[in-house]
A and B are shown apart, each in its own frame.
Chain A
Amino acid sequence: MFSVFSKEIHLFFSSLIGYIVISVFLISIGLFMWVFSDTSVLDYNFATMDQLFSIAPLVFLFLIPAITMRSFAEEKSKGTIEFLYTKPLTSFEIIAGKFFANFVLVSFALLPTAIYYYSVYQLGSPVGNLDTGAILGSYAGLFLLSASFIAIGMFASTLTDNQIVAFVLGAFLCFFFHWAFTYIARMPVFTTTLDLFIQKIGINYHYNSMSKGLLDTRDILYFFSVIFVFLFGTVTVMENRS
Chain B
Amino acid sequence: MSVIVQGLTKQYGSQKAVDNLTFEVRPGEILGFLGPNGAGKTTTMKMLCCYTQPSEGTASVCDYDIRTSPLMVRKNIGYLPEHNPLYDEMYVKEYLQFVASIHKIENKQGRISEIIEMTGLGKEQNKIIGTLSKGYRQRLGLAQAIIHDPQVLILDEPTSGLDMNQLIDIRSLIKNLGKRKQSFFRPTSCRKFKPCAIG
Q: Does A116 contact B (CB under 8 A)?
A: no
* Residue from A6, A11, A79, A87 with most neighbouring chain B CB atoms (10 Å): A87
Give the interface centre of B75, B85, B144 by most chain A CB atoms within 10 Å.
B85
A192 at interface by CB-CB < 8 Å: no
The contact sample of 14 A-B pairs, CB cut-off 8 A, is: A2-B101, A3-B98, A10-B94, A78-B85, A79-B81, A81-B85, A83-B85, A86-B77, A87-B102, A88-B72, A88-B74, A88-B75, A88-B103, A242-B12
* Cβ contacts A14-29/B at 8 Å (1 or 0 each): 1100000000000000
Known: A88-B75, A88-B103, A90-B71. A15 touches B98 (CB 8 A): no
| In the complex, B87 has a CB within 8 A of chain A | yes
Q: With contacts A10-B94, A79-B81, A82-B81 known, is A88 near B102, CB below 8 A?
A: yes
Contact B71–A88 (Cβ < 8 Å): yes
> Does B83 touch A at the CB level, under 8 Å?
yes
Option from B12, B83, B102 in Cβ contact (under 8 Å) with A89: B102
Q: Are B103 and A241 in contact (CB under 8 A)?
A: no
Total residue contacts A-B, CB cutoff 8 A:
63
Q: Are A86 and B50 in contact (CB under 8 A)?
A: yes
B49 within 8 A of A: yes
Interface residues of A in 45-87 (CB under 8 A from B): 78-83, 85-87
Whole-angstrom CA separation of A7 from B95 in the bound complex: 9
**Contact indicator A86/B102 (Cβ below 8 Å):** no
Whether the Cβ atoms of B87 and A3 lie closer than 8 Å is no
Docked Cα-Cα span, A173 to B125, in Å, equals 42
Residue of A nearest to B91 (CB): A14
Q: A86-B74, A88-B71, A90-B71 are in contact. Are A79 and B79 (CB under 8 A)?
A: no
A85 B71 Cβ-Cβ under 8 A: no
Given contacts A86-B81, A87-B103, 12 further A-B pairs with CB under 8 A are A3-B102, A11-B87, A14-B89, A78-B88, A80-B87, A81-B85, A82-B85, A83-B81, A86-B74, A86-B77, A241-B52, A242-B12
A interface, by DSSP: helix, strand, loop or mixed?
helix
Closest 5 CB pairs of A and B: A79-B85, A3-B101, A86-B49, A80-B85, A88-B75
CA distance A15 to B75 in the complex (A): 31
* Whole-angstrom distance between the Cβ of A94 and the nearest chain B Cβ: 10
Residues of chain A with a CB closer than 8 A to B83's CB: 79
Q: Which of A172-194 contact B (CB under 8 A)?
A: none
Closest to A17 in B: B89
A85→B85 CA distance, assembly (Å)? 12
Question: In the complex, what's the smallest C-beta–C-beta distance from A2 to chain B, in angstroms?
Answer: 7
B51 within 8 A of A: yes
Do A80 and B86 touch (CB < 8 A)?
A: yes
Q: How far is the CB of A225 from chain B (nearest CB, A)?
A: 29
Most chain B Cβ neighbours within 10 Å, of A6, A89, A242: A242
- A194 vs B109: C-alpha distance in the bound complex, in angstroms? 62
Determine the residue in chain A with the shortest Cβ distance to B84: A79
Chain B residues whose CB sits within 8 angstroms of the CB of A10 once the complex forms: 90, 94
Taking CB atoms, residues of chain A closer than 8 Å to B90 are 7, 10-11, 14
Which residues of chain B are near A88, meaning CB under 8 Å? 71-72, 74-75, 102-103
